[in-house]
Structure formats: C-alpha cells, structure tokens
C-alpha cells in the first residue's frame, strides 16, 4: 500500500516533468499543496523531501521549493550528528558513512555533541533554522536519560526530514528509524561464554547514561539469573560520561572498582576502552589475567588488540553501524519502505579469558 506522501510526490514529479511549472520554476506553497491534495502539512513536507532527495527540487528557507535544472543531479546533504568524532570506534563509523554517501551522490556535514544534551540542542536548532539537510544521521546524547530535545527532533520530522538514529532510539518519535547494536544479546552472550569457561562469580562495569550500557547490563543480569549465578549489586560498578575521565586517568579511581570485583573470577566490561584500562591496572597489581580474573568486553576495537593482554571482545564482523545507518537513510531518501535494524555480535576470543 502506497503512503499518501508518495502519491503526492508521484503527482508533483509528473507535473514537473510535464513542464507545468516552467514559467515560475517554483512549486506551489505548502499550504496550497495541502489544499490541493487534502493532506496534512507533514505529508506535503515528506513528499517535498522525497523530491529534494531525487534532485528534482531544492527547498530554500523562506522562498519555497525551487525546481532544479536536471542537467546536473543535485548533491544531497546529510547532517551527521555524533557524540565524538575522533574518539574510540567513531573514525571507522564515520569512514563507512562517508563511503556510502559518496557512492550515492551525497555529502556529510559533521557535528559533534561531546555527548552533551545542551550542545545537541544547539546543533538541532541550527539545522532547523538554516538550510535544511536532506537527511540526518544521529547518535543521540546520553540516550539512557530522558532527552529534553525531543521537541526539536519532532520539528525536524515535521519538516519532512528523515532521521536515522545510531546506537540508540526514541520510541516517542514515530517516523524515525534506528540501527542498534544487539546490546541485550551481547550482555547475555558474554556471561554465557564465561559460564562455559567455568566462572561462577562474574562482576560487571557498565555506563549508566546511555542506552547501550543499560541494555548490556540487562542482558548480563538476566543471563546470571537464568544460569543460577549470583547477581549482587555490589558486584556491578556504574560510571557515566563525566566520571569516565576519572577511570581513564589516575589509578586512584580504581580503588572503588577493586571493591566491586573482589572475590570475582571474571568481569564483563562496557567496552574495550574500559577493559583495556582495567587490564593495565590489574597487571600493575600483579593480578594474573586470565588465571586470577578474566576480562571480556564489547566492540573488538584497537583497544582489545593493543591491550597488554589481548581482550576477548564482541565484534560486529562485517556489520558496521555507520554503513548500515547510511544505507538505511539512502533507501529512505529514495522513498523505499524501511524498518529499523539491529547489528549482531560475534565473539573474538583472545588471551584475557
């Protein structure tokens, strides 16, 4: 069944190609199109966004929808709003995004929020007030917490701009798409792996202000319960965006982690960055890995390979969240029916377990 906005887009496309608007090279106003097709403004905006993505029109703030010369296809613009640009796993994600967009006559404009809600809000306001991008790829800030910026995301969706979220999603934003890690399944997978290796007391280190950390903890906790293993609050260490720098800094911050992992034979870490720091700290204390304690993690990044002891970690294999999200957005820009996607994990075993 074809959506209303696709029907409107088909009718306008045919009218453009027939030369109906050659005199003005402008489409009617949004209000006039709403009356013509008896649809909502959001439906009209979705139709116009589809035509803009096809290179038929250019939507200019304050001056309407201009019909473009079809001699040279217009290059699409995609805003990429991400927490960090140069940190940890993001260079590979951004590289894949750029590759997919370049292959589809599109170019990214990068914005970094530093995982700050206030910075995210300023970026979203600038996207609303300036020349609208054809689409937006977003890694939300602190997705484990209520987000006061949903009003701006709704406004962007109302403008007919397709959004694809990475590493998180907002169920209160109908019409948006997401590409997520299988974080719950990954948490279960690591605990089940350690259980098969003979571990019965398994600690956890998780980040509590993003969706990934909460879901990874959920899988970890449910696996412990289902396997009949101890699930003790005192064996879980929580940190957030602001306190992460303490963990990555001096060893003083790790005394609290010492108390959490005491008596455990294995630790599930939120990601490789934290796992690598833990391995370095334990080795300084002459704790043998994995004989005294095993360490496992998520992401299979350079941290897991370059750690003093190679870290057993979950990998996406051939799946890359950036590539998947960019391909999903391109399909959405073409007007194809799309659904959210989940990237599975594959275990890469190394010396830490």
Q: For position 64, what pLDDT does the model report? A: 81
Residue 310 has pLDDT above 90, yes or no: yes
Pick the CATH number of 183-315 from 3.40.50.1820, 3.40.50.2000, 3.40.50.2300, 1.10.1370.20: 3.40.50.2300
Cα 140 to the center of its chain, rounded Å: 7
Q: What is the mean pLDDT of the chain?
A: 91
More confident position, 277 or 58: 277
Neighbours of 70 (CB within 10 A): 11
Distance, CA of 241 to CA of 114 (rounded, Å): 9
Burial (Cβ within 10 Å: 0-12, 13-18, ≥19) of residue 343: buried
Residue 198 has pLDDT above 90, yes or no: yes
Q: For position 71, what pLDDT does the model report? A: 63
Same fold: 76-182+319-346 with 183-315: yes
Residue 160 has pLDDT above 80, yes or no: yes
Question: Which residue, 270, 269, 268, 276, is CA-closest to 248?
Answer: 276
Sign of the CA dihedral 329, 332, 337, 340?
positive
Question: Which residue, 235, 289, 233, is CA-closest to 258?
Answer: 235
Kindly list the distances between the CA atom of residue 141 and the CA atoms of 115, 210, 211, 329, in Å, as whole numbers in the listed order.
5, 8, 10, 20
Domains of the chain, by residue range, sit at: 4-67, 76-182+319-346, 183-315
Q: Please report the DSSP string for 20-74 in residue order.
A: TTTTT-BPPPHHHHHHHHT--HHHHHHHHHHHHHTTSEEEETTTEEEEPPTTSPP
Please write the tens of the pLDDT for every residue from 46-88.
888 888 877 788 877 777 888 887 666 678 899 999 998 877 6
Angle made by CA atoms 179, 185, 186, in degrees to the nearest 5: 90
Residue 130 has pLDDT above 90, yes or no: no
228: left (phi over 0), alpha (psi -120 to 50) or beta: left
Q: What is the mean pLDDT of residues 190-207?
A: 98
Report CA dihedral (296, 319, 337, 174) to the nearest 10 degrees. 30
Model confidence at 232, in pLDDT bands (50, 70, 90)? very high
Q: For position 122, what pLDDT does the model report? A: 98
Question: Is the distance from CB of 277 to CB of 245 less than 8 angstroms?
Answer: no
Please write the tens of the pLDDT for every residue from 235-265.
999 999 999 988 888 888 899 999 999 999 9
Pick the CATH number of 76-182+319-346 from 3.40.50.300, 3.90.1210.10, 3.90.45.10, 3.40.50.2300: 3.40.50.2300
Q: For position 219, what pLDDT does the model report? A: 98
Tell me the range of 91-95, 97-101, 129-133 where mean pLDDT is highest.
97-101
Q: What is the mean pLDDT of residues 26-48?
A: 87
Residue 110 has pLDDT above 90, yes or no: yes
Question: Is the distance from CB of 350 to CB of 313 less than 8 angstroms?
Answer: yes
Q: What is the mean pLDDT of residues 229-239?
A: 95
Does this model's pTM top 0.85? My answer is no
- Helices 4-17 + 30-37 axis angle, to 10: 110
- Report the b/e string of 180-213 with b at 16+ CB within 10 A: bbbbbbbbbbbbbbbbeeebebbbbbbbbbbbbb
Q: For position 237, what pLDDT does the model report? A: 97
Query: What number does CATH give the domain 4-67?
Result: 1.10.10.10
Question: Is the distance from CB of 288 to CB of 320 less than 8 angstroms?
Answer: no
- How many C-alpha atoms does 44 have within 13 Å on its Cβ side? 18
- Report the b/e string of 276-300 with b at 16+ CB within 10 A: bbbbebbeeeeeebbeebbbbbbbb
SS3 153: helix
Model confidence at 324, in pLDDT bands (50, 70, 90)? very high
């Amino acid at each position: 069944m074809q959506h209303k906005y696709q029907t409107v887009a088909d009718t306008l496309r045919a009218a453009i190609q027939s030369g109906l608007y050659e005199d003005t090279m402008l489409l009617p106003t949004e209000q006039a199109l709403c009356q013509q097709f008896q649809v909502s403004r959001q439906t009209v905006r979705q139709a116009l966004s589809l035509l803009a993505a096809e290179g038929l029109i250019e939507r200019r703030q304050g001056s309407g929808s201009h019909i473009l010369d079809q001699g040279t296809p217009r290059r699409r613009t995609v805003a990429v709003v991400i927490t960090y640009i140069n940190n940890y796993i993001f260079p590979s994600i951004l590289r894949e995004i750029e590759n997919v967009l370049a292959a589809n006559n599109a170019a990214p404009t990068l914005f970094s929020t530093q995982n700050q809600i206030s910075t995210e809000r300023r970026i979203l306001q600038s996207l609303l007030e300036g020349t609208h991008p054809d689409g937006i790829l977003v890694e939300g800030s602190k997705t484990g917490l209520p987000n006061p910026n949903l009003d701006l995301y709704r406004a962007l969706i109302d403008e007919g701009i397709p959004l694809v979220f990475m590493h998180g999603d907002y169920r209160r934003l109908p019409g948006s798409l997401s590409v997520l890690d299988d974080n719950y399944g990954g948490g279960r997978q690591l605990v089940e792996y350690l259980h098969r290796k003979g571990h019965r007391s398994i600690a956890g280190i998780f980040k509590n202000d993003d969706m990934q950390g909460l879901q990874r903890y959920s899988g970890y906790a449910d696996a412990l319960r289902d396997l009949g293993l101890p699930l003790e609050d005192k064996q879980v260490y929580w940190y957030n965006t602001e306190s992460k720098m303490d963990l990555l800094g001096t060893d003083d911050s790790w005394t609290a982690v010492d108390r959490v992992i005491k008596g455990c034979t294995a630790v599930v870490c939120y990601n490789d960055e934290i796992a690598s720091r833990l391995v370095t700290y334990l080795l300084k204390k002459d704790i043998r890995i994995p004989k005294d304690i095993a360490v496992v993690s998520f992401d299979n990044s350079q941290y897991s390979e370059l750690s003093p002891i190679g870290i057993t970690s979950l990998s996406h294999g051939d799946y890359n969240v950036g590539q998947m999200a960019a391909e999903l957005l391109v399909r959405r820009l073409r007007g194809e029916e799309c659904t959210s996607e989940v990237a599975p994990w594959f275990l890469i075993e190394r010396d830490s377990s």
